[in-house]
Amino acid sequence: MFLSYAAEDAAWARMLAAHLAGHGVSLFFDQWSIEPGDVVVHKVDAALLTAAHGIAVISPASARSPEPWRSTRRWPPPLPDVD
């Protein structure tokens, strides 16, 4: 599982990650999965390529991020608004 979130939501995302891990979910959470000396973009790319599932934390902070769904080239663009 890949967990994506805005930096402003780090505390909430950490609680979510702990809850998921406590229920046996194996996940990539940057605060736990990236170690000093790691090349961040390589770790994130590898996690995205191997994750069967992902969670995107949608919040006011993520909505303010420039192009939040395109922070990496592997995420699809958001769906258009439908009336």
**Is residue 71 over pLDDT 60?**
no
Question: Looking at the domain assignment, is residue 78 inside a domain?
Answer: no
**Is the Cβ–Cβ distance between 58 and 12 less than 8 Å?**
no
Beta strands in 1-83 (DSSP E): 2-4, 54-56
Domain limits at 37?
A: 2-70
pLDDT in tens, 20-68: 999 999 999 989 998 899 898 888 888 888 888 889 898 888 888 766 4
CATH code for the domain of 58: 3.40.50.10140
